[in-house]
Amino acid sequence: MKDISEIRNDFPILGRTVYGKPLIYFDNGATTQKPVCVVDAVREVYTSYNGNIHRGVHAMSDLTSEAFENAREKVRRFINAAEKEEIIFTSGTTGSINAVAFSFGERFIRPGDEVVISALEHHANIVPWQMMCSRKKAVLKVIPVNDSGELILEEYRNLLSEKTKIVAVTQVSNALGTIVPLDKIIKDAHALDIPVLVDGAQGIQHGNVDVTALDCDFYVFSGHKIYGPTGIGVLYGKKKWLSDLPPWQGGGDMVDKVTFEETTYNELPFKFEAGTMNYAGAIGMGAALDYVSGLGRNDIAQREKMLLDYASQRLTAVKGLKIYGTSPDKIPTISFLLDGIHQYDTGMVLDKMGIAVRTGTHCAQPVMARFGIEGTVRMSMSFYNTTEEIDTLGMGIEKIIRMFT
């Protein structure tokens, strides 16, 4: 892995100031910053070869189509999918989950059937299933969590039955940082021939993801969470499932033949990519995956573990600070509250110090309800953060405590 100063030079925004203070960016769970290579890749699309994909016989269209399909292959390699046709480009994790919830519901869900999710989910992996269950008169079941923010697997196993048609769980809690034991979740579901969707929005950027080894049936993530552009995401699905699911959108490029009597659909993956795709975003995401691979995903995981350990020790030492989510298996994310100080006040004062954190419910209101709180302050780190930045955060928190007491 490159030296940290070299890495930080790859991200120009990290060199800016906020309110006259050096920017300390601890909101990577919301979105990551972008290396120059990603910005350059998107710029090159629009300055060198921009043309609508799959629809032209001219050079610009051919060049853009080739770059777009090369990005699909990069995604396939990055998550070790068996075939390129199993990679569907979407608008992001939310779009991917909505797509599966709609299509799977239309094809497989009947009144009285059950869908299992967990109490750790982001709203994006709750609401689409609620909508589908309401439409199809199905039942939503929820895996509970313990006081450490971990799923209670015994309760999960008790939820599974012949009525369960799909399990949809997060790989990592965005609110607490808890890593979910996907191997056990998937094994137990597959023992009953139940497919599993994994929300990888908070997992894809923090280590190796191998969908073949995981044996998950669907895996979804967003480009902007892994140093790529916004507005682009991925739906991986096993070919046997994608072949059997109906399209969730209709339009150009996803069709084979259209008459006023009927329409036949294109082959995979195109039958799920209606209209003009965000090809510049996909190409930019491909550049981001190349960048991450170049740094080394094992090296990234090792560095982020060091940062998590350092930050946990530093914040635990602060009197009046309580951490929520204390599982030993976590990504470099820490959610906390200060005694008697509202999370928004903490976040706003830290902002004036140049420190960016996230405050509120983190689109995970059921998680907050489980712990009886209105929200938290969340620091979410990346490999480009430093121990010096963590020390500055710790001193900033101690200053806030003195200000409010």
Residues tagged active-site: 363
Contact 220, 198 (CB under 8 A): yes
Cα–Cα distance between 131 and 44 in angstroms, integer? 40
Cα–Cα distance between 222 and 275 in angstroms, integer? 19
Contact 290, 303 (CB under 8 A): no
Report the greatest alpha carbon distance in the chain: 73
Cα–Cα distance between 181 and 145 in angstroms, integer? 13
Across-strand partners of 359? 377
Find the DSSP H helices in 45-152.
59-79, 93-108, 127-136
Cα–Cα distance between 317 and 334 in angstroms, integer? 14
Contact 368, 122 (CB under 8 A): no
Find the DSSP H helices in 194-274.
211-214, 239-244
Q: Which residues are CB-contacts of 277 (< 8 A; sequence separation ≥ 6)? A: 53, 68, 89, 253
- H or E element, residue 336: strand 333-338
Q: How many CB atoms lie within 10 A of CB 331?
A: 26
Q: Which residues are CB-contacts of 389 (< 8 A; sequence separation ≥ 6)? A: 24, 26
DSSP state of 12: G
